[in-house]
Amino acid sequence: METTTVEQVARRVCALRAKDLPEAALDRGAGCLLDLLGAAMAGFHQASAQAARGFARRFFPGGPSDVWLTRERLSPAGAAFCNAAAGSALDLDDGHRAAGGHPGAALIPAALAVGQSLNSGGRDLLAALVIGYEVSVRAAAARNPATL
């Protein structure tokens, strides 16, 4: 059976490890992480972030993943939702022209929440961020604007 392009990309991406990536890329991933944490601190008290936390407490209760700047832990999906809302609340999060948006606001909270639930190490987390950025920015840049 022939594999699709998406399956081929997924296989290649899933085979990558932190040791396969340049140290400079991992350093850049750390910078992106710090950038989003700063944006999340600034956006934490915004109404949208507060509403997201209220929603997530109800629909994603209890779990292994931290809701940033609180003592709460929710499911990975719930924590990622809350943290993404705080990180993007003031539109201070990273932007990328080729992506036409803000990839870090979605990637970073999801990677941290899932990584925490799996007890992943720091280098693995940074590798996941770098790989996530690479895939998402390239996929977004490959879109045909006429079909959006």
Q: Please, what's the largest Cα pairwise distance for the chain?
A: 52
95, part of any domain? yes
What does each C-alpha distance from 68 to 3, 36, 40 come to in angstroms? 39, 11, 8
Q: Number of structural domains, the chain?
A: 1
Could you tell me which residues are beta bridge partners of residue 101?
Answer: 96
What are the pLDDT digits (tens) for 60-86?
Answer: 999 999 999 999 999 999 999 999 999
Nearest to 86 by CA among 65, 64, 70: 70
16, part of any domain? no
89, part of any domain? yes
116, part of any domain? yes
Residue 4, classed as helix, strand or coil, is coil
**Token pair in block for residue 114:** 């899932």
CATH number of the domain that residue 80 is part of: 1.10.4100.10
The pLDDT, as a whole number, for residue 48 is: 97
What is this structure's pTM? 0.89
The pLDDT, as a whole number, for residue 34 is: 95
14, part of any domain? no
pLDDT tens string, the chain, 148 residues long: the values are 788 988 998 999 999 999 999 999 999 999 999 999 999 999 999 999 999 999 999 999 999 999 999 999 999 999 999 999 999 999 988 877 666 777 889 999 999 999 999 999 999 999 999 999 999 888 888 888 788 6
Q: Which range of residues forms the domain containing residue 134?
A: 22-143
